[in-house]
Amino acid sequence: MTTSNRQDLEPEQNSEVATGKTHSPTRRRLIQGASAAPVLLVSGRSALACNPDMDKCALSPMAWMSIHPKKKDQTVAVSHNVGCNFMGKSPGYWTPNKTGKTFQGPWPMGIKPFNQLKWHEIQGGSCTSTVKTATWGGDYTVYSDLPHNDCATGKDAGWNSGDKLPFFSDSRSISRILIEETASQNIKWHICAAYLNALTWPEYALTPSEVEQLYLTRKLVPGGRTLYDSEIKAFLDQTWL
């Protein structure tokens, strides 16, 4: 049984899985089979939708996993009818644009994407001696055409002056990680986006504390199986548009 083809367990089966009460060999085999695959995802993005007169919605971690009834290091999918949460925005959405409108939406209160940027202006495709600056004032709508790097030095234009994640040992700011990382690399790109989502929308699938614990413990729920980075990225990809 592959992850992409796995069907959601029926509510009756899920209640039994959550309590560890399986009454027949058939159901026990179903549960054990479901726990074999390492990635636990819903069968499709549509399974997240519950049409709550708003955007699509995402499930909380508790709605995704429960402890396997026989082995603590294995997990199984539970009912996807538990409830829904606001769908956040992707890392690409949060990454500052080099040209045009810099930010697609508001940054959460208390988090600065940068303190001050300083760079040499480019005119006619050439780097000039004209120095420009930008200081963060809280209104994301006023910024445009802010380069990631200074054309004269090839180094950071100042994005690393922004706020950092409090639970990262990385010396880079949130903005700099978003600029430098990609989906194919480690989970920091995803974690930064999840953290900004959690701070911006209280209805997001994760709280800031849950994002922190997911990164530090590699688990969706206490006592759950330790996840690979690829599994964490796959889970977070299901929580945003």
Q: What is the pLDDT of residues 140-156, one digit of tens each?
A: 999 999 999 999 999 99
Q: Do 43 and 65 belong to one domain?
A: yes
Q: Do 213 and 138 belong to one domain?
A: no
Q: Do 174 and 222 belong to one domain?
A: no
Of 30 and 192, more confident: 192
Q: Do 26 and 72 belong to one domain?
A: yes
pLDDT of 233 over the 60 cut:
yes
Q: Do 77 and 97 belong to one domain?
A: no
Q: Do 68 and 97 belong to one domain?
A: no
Q: Considering only CA atoms, which of 97, 110, 138, 66 is closest in space to residue 208?
A: 110
The model carries a pTM of 0.72
In a domain, 6, yes or no: no
Q: Do 27 and 83 belong to one domain?
A: yes
In a domain, 195, yes or no: no
Interatomic CA distance for residues 107 and 147, integer angstroms: 18
What pLDDT does residue 74 have? 53
pLDDT of 39 over the 60 cut:
no
Interatomic CA distance for residues 111 and 117, integer angstroms: 16
Residue 116, domain extent: 91-180
Interatomic CA distance for residues 218 and 229, integer angstroms: 8
- Gyration radius of the chain's alpha carbons: 21
Q: Do 150 and 172 belong to one domain?
A: yes
Q: Do 60 and 101 belong to one domain?
A: no
In a domain, 188, yes or no: no
Number of domains in the chain: 2
CA dihedral sign of residues 185, 183, 109, 148: positive
